[in-house]
Structure 1
Amino acid sequence: MKSVTVAGIDCGTNSIRLKIARVDDQGMHEIVPRILRVIRLGQDVDKTHRFAQDALDRAYTAAAEFAGVLAQHPVDAIRFVATSATRDAVNRDTFEDGIEQILGVRPEVIPGTEEADLSFLGATSVVSRGELEPPYLVVDLGGGSTELVLGGDGIDAPSTQVQAAFSMDIGSVRMTERHLRHDPPSETEIAEAIADIDEHIDEAFRMVPAGRTRTIIGVSGTVPR
């Protein structure tokens, strides 16, 4: 296989990331390590269902920085995916147009199910055989949404094969703006947030048999290191 140089940009509710790598028969070889910028694109989207101009400006500033990096490291292909906040924003065309003008690529707004699949693929691709016990439950805790994805057991189904997935409209930004109106938040606000989260998790567990899990893998910047 001829090697190709590719770039991936992941634009979530809270942050945007760029990575550039060369891919060949031996796998992926990092050229530019992940660059992450906190842009809070989802500012007030849960309440207004629109991108705020301040949030768009922050996204465009990060995109311009990424354009400079890409100019120094030409790629054969680039994929820009946008997730929860962009799914919810009625003025997402404005965001897509602005990004396309800066980077020459139009954001691809992916559904929660595809976001879940990609999170699982990325997380399990770096797990060495025998290192962790399957089935794996990948938890992608983002700013606007959270995905639970369960894979196979490595016997009846490959451990890297998705068996069940569910995407919830809960995340660090969304819950903060929806419930935590003071700093520090009141006990009532915390209780409201917990109740909201529990309701979504109960629904997720009806779709994803999390009791089969042997290893939990957390991804995204919200997961504690």
Structure 2
Amino acid sequence: MHPHPRIAAIDLGSNSFHMLIAKATTRGYRIITRHRQKVRLADGLTPDLTLDDAAIERGIECLKDFAQRLAHYQPLQIRCVATATLRKAHNRKQILKRFERALGSPIDIISGMTEAGLIYQGATLELARPDSAMLVLDIGGASTEVIAGVGTEPHVLKSLDMGCVVWQNRFFAGGMISAARFAAAVAAAAEQIRPLATTYQAHGWQTVCGASGTFRGLQDCLRHYRADAMSAEFIRFCMEESIKQGSVDALPAIGVREDRIAVFCGGLAILVALTDNLDIKTVDLAQGALREGLVNTMLNERKRSLA
């Protein structure tokens, strides 16, 4: 058995598909390459929860590309997981067969709780001290994970039925931005968060970190405005500035990258509701997310098998 094998972790998210290929080392792992492709799977989820052909084809094309990259790097172990959109899709069995054929590897549709645990693990690998109380937020395309823990151990895990793609389509259809649309989006997110507030606040945290594209989008805004921190005030400021633009197409004016504008307001509305209802003061950008958690899990399983 190779002492330092290459391993691949693939995350089929509702907004983006991610692939991370890493090499095991004596201290953990070293990332060889990572790839991300906007597939926007959740865009294809119809009202009757069937995933449409266009979204399926976008997924297949991405997975064919991933398969070519896997053939080049030849990892010893590959693990691929799918999240909220495929959890919801009534035609997931047929989709899974086609996706597995395109990738050439098995795909697991994981539960919201499993997803939350992997996200927490990936987000806290670099940030956490053993005694540090953490809150991790991940605003995906069709679900939002909120996880409180200590160090790298999650204690309270929730996967909420809302995400940046779903919220964008529901509240910002046609790319129009207004105060009324944001108010409705924030209120709908708050309905899901409010019942959990006491539980999370009782746990407490010293650090809050965000592990998804919404937070990377806000990091771009921070640089644009030369602001110091992703504070609750700055997050609300970005909402007000987005409203002033009036249209998704104008969001680059506040620092949002072109590849993030399509779902930025949906994610931002959810984040405003999170900061308001959980009384979050500031958010750090996490260094890892689900795929890093997946790599770490694979390495731990390998260590146990070699012990």
Report the TM-score, using the length of structure 1 for normalisation: 0.89
| Matched letter for residue 114 of structure 1 | T
Matches within 5 A, 1:26-105: 26-32=27-33, 34-45=34-45, 47-105=47-105
Q: How many pairs are equivalent?
A: 216
Deviates more, 1:12-21 or 1:95-104: 95-104
Of Structure 1 and Structure 2, which has the larger fraction of its residues in helix?
2
- SS for the counterpart of 2:41 is coil
Gap regions ≥5 residues in structure 2:
220-307
State whether structure 2 residue 169 is matched by structure 1 residue 177: yes
State whether structure 2 residue 196 is matched by structure 1 residue 204: yes
| Matched letter for residue 66 of structure 2 | F
Kindly provide the CA deviation profile for residues 156-175 of structure 1, in whole angstroms up to 9, marking residues without a partner as x. Answer: xxx21111111101111111
Q: Would the aligned equivalents of 1:46 and 1:178 in 2 still touch at CA under 8 Å?
A: no
CA drift of 1:52 comes to: 1.2
Q: Would the aligned equivalents of 2:14 and 2:140 in 1 still touch at CA under 8 Å?
A: yes
Cα distance, 1:73–1:116 mapped onto 2, change above 3 Å: same
Of Structure 1 and Structure 2, which has the larger fraction of its residues in strand?
1
Cα RMSD of the aligned pairs, angstroms, is 1.9
Gap regions ≥5 residues in structure 1:
153-158
Cα distance, 1:163–1:186 mapped onto 2, change above 3 Å: same
Cα distance, 1:214–1:129 mapped onto 2, change above 3 Å: closer
Paired with 1:28 and 1:12, the residues of 2 have a C-alpha distance of: 23
Q: Would the aligned equivalents of 1:46 and 1:174 in 2 still touch at CA under 8 Å?
A: no
CA drift of 1:221 comes to: 1.4
Cα distance, 1:210–1:141 mapped onto 2, change above 3 Å: farther
Give 1:155's aligned residue: none
- SS for the counterpart of 1:81 is strand
CA drift of 1:45 comes to: 1.8
Give 1:7's aligned residue: 8
Cα distance, 1:21–1:179 mapped onto 2, change above 3 Å: same
Q: Would the aligned equivalents of 2:67 and 2:104 in 1 still touch at CA under 8 Å?
A: no
Deviates more, 1:16-25 or 1:178-187: 178-187
Cα distance, 1:190–1:129 mapped onto 2, change above 3 Å: closer
CA drift of 1:129 comes to: 4.3
Cα distance, 1:182–1:211 mapped onto 2, change above 3 Å: farther
CA drift of 1:195 comes to: 1.1
State the structure with bigger RCO (CA 8 A, min sep 6), 1 or 2.
Answer: 2
Paired with 2:56 and 2:127, the residues of 1 have a C-alpha distance of: 36
Report the TM-score, using the length of structure 2 for normalisation: 0.66
Q: Would the aligned equivalents of 2:148 and 2:203 in 1 still touch at CA under 8 Å?
A: no
Give 1:18's aligned residue: 19
| Matched letter for residue 32 of structure 2 | I
Kindly provide the CA deviation profile for residues 129-155 of structure 1, in whole angstroms up to 9, marking residues without a partner as x. Answer: 49xx82110101111111111112xxx
